[in-house]
Structure formats: structure tokens, C-alpha cells
């Protein structure tokens, strides 16, 4: 029985080691995700007005921690100014082919105000035997996306969502465009690659300090 247990543990160890050596996992720990929070209520024990923030914490200590998802609560209710996603990854009948079901939430979700234009880009990686490729899908004013991707090694999804919102307006009798760009990294794991993060001007603006925050489980 002891020998059987040792063989089982050895097999598990070999399998885990092999997975870590795959193209999907080799550089997947550039950042780890961590939720933190900040309570605004002044009365101890009251938790009605607070924020929960997902941070991307770099493995390289010389790099900055970045803000990713955000959930703001006002009087106990989730505010529309939040920006976050729900993600579910499912295997398909086709070998190495997966489906990612994403629901994106932002202050511009289900926007009914006329004059606004909203476009969404969902970029993601495909993992082959010994190489990767990037792909992108485009959506117009949608919040629920279905994305098919390839992974020869496991079900890891690595991607990001970019939201473009603009509105034509008149300022001092001149036609102008008010524009906003929002971006969040998307993964179904607790670590992610820096592929879509490094040298990105939007993420560079999302540097974050942990001062005054508490760890959210």
C-alpha cells in the first residue's frame, strides 16, 4: 500500500512538473491577482460604503502593482461605476478547443443615452504545443461575449477587455469628441502572463499603492 501511494504521488509530481514546463504555464506567473478592500464607513462594524479592488501584483519586485477590476458599494448596493467581469471556461467536444463565456460590467453597460458609441475588444492568447498566438474579437455595445480559444495544455484563458466609449458634442460652437478608454486583464487563474500588460499606456496609468487597504478573501 505504501509503495502504491508513493507511485501515485510521484506520478502527480511528474504531471504537475510537466504542466509547469508547457508554453501555457512557463510565463504565466508574471502577475498574481489579489483582491483588497477599503471601508469608508466611520462606524466600526458597519460595512455599507466600501470598495473591492483586484490588483495585479508583479513577480518582478521592480515593477508596479496595477489596478485591474473594481467593485464600489454605496449603501450596501453595487454601484454602476464598478468595472469587473464574470468568466466561465468550458471544454468542448473538439480536442484542445475551449469556450470562454464572459460578462463584462462597466458604468457604460446597457447605456441608453443617445449620442454615445461603445465598442469592445476582447483580445486573448491561443496556446499550441510549443508556440502562442494572439487573437481579437470585436463587439458593438455588448456586455456578454462568447470566445473560442485553443490550449493544448490546460484550460488557462489569458486575455484582456478594452472598452472604447465616445460621444460627439459641441464646445464653444466647435464639434468635439469626448472619449474614454477602459481596460482590464482577464484570466480564469490566480496568475497571469504580462503579454497584454507590459508597455501598455492604459495599464501604465493604473499603478496602485496598497496603503490603507485590507486583504479581501
The pLDDT tens digits of the residues spanning 135-176 come to 999 999 899 999 999 999 999 999 999 999 987 665 656 665
On the question of pLDDT at 111 being above 80, the answer is no
Q: Is the pLDDT of residue 65 over 80?
A: yes
Domain count within the chain: 1
49 pLDDT above the threshold of 60: yes
pTM: 0.82
Rounded CA-CA distance 196/200 in Å is 7
More confident residue, 99 or 212: 99
Domain assignment of residue 79, given as a range: 2-215
Question: Which pLDDT does position 149 carry in this prediction?
Answer: 98
Confidence band (pLDDT; 50, 70, 90) for 113?
low
DSSP, residue by residue, 3-37: HHHHHHHHHHHHHHHHHHTSTTTTTTTSEEEEEEE
Q: In this model, does residue 63 exceed pLDDT 70?
A: yes
Percent of the chain residues topping a pLDDT of 70 = 80
Distances in whole angstroms, Cα of residue 80 to Cα of each of 34, 71, 84, 86, 104: 22, 9, 11, 15, 12
Which of the four pLDDT bands, split at 50, 70 and 90, describes residue 38?
Answer: confident
Task: Identify the pLDDT of residue 17.
Answer: 46
Q: Where are the alpha helices (DSSP H) in the chain?
A: 2-20, 201-204
Distances (CA, A) of 161 to 28, 62, 74, 145, 181: 18, 26, 25, 10, 10
Amino acid at each position: 500500500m505504501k509503495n502504491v501511494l508513493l507511485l501515485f504521488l510521484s506520478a502527480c509530481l511528474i504531471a504537475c512538473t510537466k504542466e509547469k514546463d508547457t508554453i501555457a504555464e512557463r510565463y504565466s506567473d508574471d502577475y498574481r491577482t489579489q483582491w483588497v478592500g477599503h471601508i469608508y464607513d466611520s462606524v466600526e462594524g458597519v460595512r455599507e460604503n466600501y470598495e473591492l479592488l483586484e490588483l495585479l501584483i508583479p513577480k518582478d519586485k521592480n515593477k508596479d502593482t496595477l489596478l485591474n477590476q473594481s467593485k464600489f458599494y454605496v449603501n450596501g448596493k453595487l454601484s454602476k461605476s464598478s468595472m469587473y467581469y464574470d468568466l466561465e471556461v468550458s471544454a468542448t467536444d473538439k480536442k484542445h478547443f475551449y469556450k470562454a463565456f464572459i460578462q463584462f460590467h462597466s458604468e457604460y453597460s446597457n447605456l441608453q443615452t443617445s449620442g454615445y458609441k461603445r465598442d469592445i475588444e476582447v483580445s486573448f492568447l491561443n496556446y499550441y504545443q510549443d508556440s502562442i498566438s494572439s487573437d481579437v474579437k470585436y463587439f458593438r455595445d455588448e456586455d456578454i461575449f462568447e470566445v473560442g480559444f485553443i490550449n493544448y495544455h490546460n484550460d488557462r484563458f489569458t486575455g484582456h477587455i478594452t472598452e472604447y466609449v465616445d460621444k460627439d458634442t459641441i464646445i464653444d460652437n466647435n464639434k468635439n469628441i469626448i472619449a474614454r478608454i477602459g481596460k482590464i486583464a482577464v484570466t480564469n487563474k490566480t496568475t497571469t502572463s504580462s503579454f497584454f500588460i507590459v508597455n501598455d499606456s492604459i495599464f501604465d496609468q493604473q499603478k496602485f499603492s496598497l496603503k490603507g487597504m485590507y486583504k479581501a478573501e
